[in-house]
Structure 1
């Protein structure tokens, strides 16, 4: 549920706030819509007020229903920030503590007598990620009882010892959901309503169910053969629970983050704990420092939906994007919108068709390898499939690269251009208006 944040982390340095260019923001989202590159909604809050909102594309292609400011989207792993907020409220009420052990509630979970609530919140439990099981598709769209989910967690075991390192795992927040239910003696959807939705008077935020297009809930789509096609598989929300079951609009995402940082949901002490990061991971928040500035946020991806929310505390600005498909990765569009708002240099993407050239399998051999740089947060692996060059960012899905010139390759799907310099064993990466030089290892 979280694969689209890495490029974002490195592209917002040296932000200088200026009067934002509304026309340029409109142009970005209009270009996405007119070129069938994405569908969704975007919102900016400044000082607690929405100053910009834009919806683009359809919420339901089959009925030509256009997305609007009230369209609801699955937000995937951004749900974890809501869950962490609930757990911190329970800590403040002394119903639990960050040092409480999982064994107090689920003693049969591997390492339950060593894993703390804080370990779960920080993704430092070592528990295997339940959504990476090989048979996931066989059961992910069906109602799952707590007993079944706990049995799977037990069966899949651990990857490392508690607090040894940070490794993202949805299992952590599934367990936190169950623990909250045990404490409150209520189902998690009720807990979400009582502790976040109702206090903030949110009207379009809820624990998700089967998608109902008639209620202005977006269906997910993918683009293939010049048309949008519906993603038929829908995760049953009993699977991710507090790890990914929340549905919202970008406007209400910004309301949530603005109120969280304003101290309306947790105390200042609890918020500081949430912001305090180890290896970039706080308690339900990811800390993204850029020069003298800091940014906190989270991303999410589920069933064709992608979303990202980021809060800039010093500027009191919250920015959120929700999509029910993005032909390009969410990071590129989100980066462009954020850079445009803060007055940074940003060139709108060129969606005109790129003329490709043919290359031989032997020519591709010279590019194969692993490329990295201290200035780039992940390694890029280059391989081939016949006459096609394949790229894959560390921990991310692979994608095809098309040759558009000598030693130059492009992926329209992720809006990235790679130019190989074989004589120096380097590759120049252009994405999101930024350029990076990586060296072959």
Structure 2
């Protein structure tokens, strides 16, 4: 198992400034379309995934709780937005993704994984079947829209370009912004500006218009709350964001609360809880292996992944509730009864909605059952923890038929 990064700082919050200072290339970090907007509103900017991004505005705890209670607006324009065009694009993507892409109907989306030949996870992503007449340029009947993680988007594009047929066009839409509006009142705020979005349900998407600005909106997100992701032209991002912030339910939220929210929701973060040495089975993401794909195989790493699914993985991603008030951080060791390191914490911090420190870790399968007592060592200090079912707080997605 790949060791995690060393724990960062002594703050109780997941995204300390040290942790946010990811490795950046020698060139200066790129600027988001809303860079000036964030600074004007007091956003504390830090380098992350090659961009300057806001970690917080008024404080991580306040922003976290506001999102759980109302509607938080996140700038996620660092993510990669890709459109695949060409005959059979879905079948070509199935060479690398274990999901049933061909079965997607227009406006339907699916969580999936970009895999290497050993079955390791190169990235996790969202893929959507686009309808004819979509807002991403010249539209074809087989077009697909994919959102990938910002830190690895150029690696992803290289991998995809290498493995899909030359007839498939990959359009990296660097001129578009991406916003996430999350929380129980997100639908009220957005529906005032964009009538019709309330008709969407979880994992459905569609084309909309706001004052002549073409929008692509999905009912999705990475906080465990109801909410939306909104793709729009970068040159329209400021005026549209201002309109959202005029809604009483909406406040801007930074990366710090985005991280604590997704951890409470039991959602893994690529580069921390997922990496090329982790498989979907070990990561407890077996739902991403669609039935048809399991039966037909044919995706990268299929033999290894399906053998592991049948025979069992040696380790599993689990949630932990930490005793006491001191959180454990990424990189802390999970110990067995003899004091030997047998696992590793990959994310951790205090959870504002839970009121306790929580974490994700990889542990041996024998230690993965909820209720199992776990010992964690961080900087020479021993912490006691209990394996807990995830999510730590219930998901509140608005599903079809609900």
Instruction: Provide TM-score, normalisation by structure 2.
Output: 0.34
Q: Name the larger-Rg structure.
A: 1
Instruction: Provide TM-score, normalisation by structure 1.
Output: 0.31
